Structure 1
Amino acid sequence: MLHAKDYSATEALRDGGVVEIRALKPEDRADLLAAIGRASQQSLYRRFFAFKRGFTEQEVDFYVNVDFISHVALVALLEESGHPVIVGGARYIVMQLGKAEIAFAVDDEHQGKGIGAGLMRHLAAIARESGLTELIADVLPENAAMLKVFETSKLGVKITREPGVIHIVLQIT
């Protein structure tokens, strides 16, 4: 059985590099904030559906202190200058029995390498092992990269288009 809080795996990237995908830890707080600081306003808007200039301590606590039962978070790390650097993250939050809302972010410099797809695979595996049957996401129509991650995930995908948002339901059973 996968233990989400101890989860760690590696993924090969399209450019030949290797990314570590592991459980977010409370001690990742500063590195997670640094990763958010490297993201463009456009990337932050695509993730949060609003222009974010910063986060309150309460918001940061929410994103960092996860229980790995109803709230699971993974980070993607690459070696840069001999140190692991958070370049992306994914999480799900259980909304009702069997269903969780998911969200992803990859910093601009590292987009297009397969990090989002790797995070999707690992998050879906943890969700499946935890008994979830559906992962749900709302995506902005212009976020083609995230839509592609969902469409190529090898999961059952149901797409509903509404004005200004695309609602995605992934079947993970």
Structure 2
Amino acid sequence: MSDAAHYTVTEPVRDGASVIIRALRPEDEADMLAALERTSAESRHRRFFVMKRDFSEKERTFFMNVDFKEHVALVAVVTEHGRPVIIGGGRYVVFEPGRAEMAFVVVDGWQGRGVGSLLMRHLARIARQAGLEELVADVLPENAAMLKVFSKAGLTPGARHDPQTVRLALQLARPSA
């Protein structure tokens, strides 16, 4: 999408709740950190592959400074107690021409409701429109929920670079004009 930095769409999840999927904004940093605080240590480990308690300034800068070309990030937002709250995020980072690695995290209370699938579908749409040919994701073998999400979306096992993870790949068809 030529205007990925302004991407926004509202969709229902499995239980009918409305979720806004939109581009990450610079002013989202505090809300992103709050979402990670609401995410269990186990879920953070499944996302970052290490027991992560907090993030360095360098890591926060990386996660927040997206250019929407080589690094695209979306957030999932719901209204809780009358205010918008980030409940998940997904991103891809181009690592070679035509290929990008994607990753997701969803606050525990919203897992299993389709938020990760929505984030992935919209990231794939943006990637396809940006001309990418493949999205890959590394997943811990014990992360059955994410493996199921990726399998349902058509990701297939790819070459493994790390014996501790499963690499999955999604071939992207070019958008029709």
Normalized against structure 2, the TM-score is what? 0.93
CA RMSD after TM alignment: 1.3
1:98–1:132 CA contact under 8 A, matched in 2 = yes
Equivalent residue, structure 1, for 2:71 = 71
Deviation at 1:163, TM superposition (A): 3.4
| Aligned match of 1:83 | 83
Q: How far apart in 2 are the matches of 1:2 and 1:114?
A: 26
Runs of 4+ deviating beyond 6 Å: none
SS class of match (1:94): strand
Give 2:150's aligned residue. Answer: 150
The alignment partner of 1:123 has SS state of helix
State the Cα deviation string for residues 59-104 of structure 1 (Å, max 9, x = none): 1111011000100000000110011100000000000000000000
Distance 2:2 2:118 in 1: 16
Give 5+ residue unaligned stretches, structure 1: none
Tell me the equivalent position of 1:116.
116
State the secondary structure of the residue aligned to 1:148.
helix
The unaligned stretches of length 5 or more in structure 2 are none
Task: State the partner residue of 1:169.
Answer: 169
Three-state SS of the structure 2 residue aligned to 1:76 is: strand
Q: How does 1:17-166 map to 2 (within 5 A)?
A: 17-153=17-153, 155=154, 157-159=156-158, 163-166=163-166
TM-score if structure 1 supplies the norm length? 0.95
SS of the aligned residue for 2:69 comes to: coil
- Judge conservation of contact 1:158–1:170 (CA < 8 Å) in 2: no
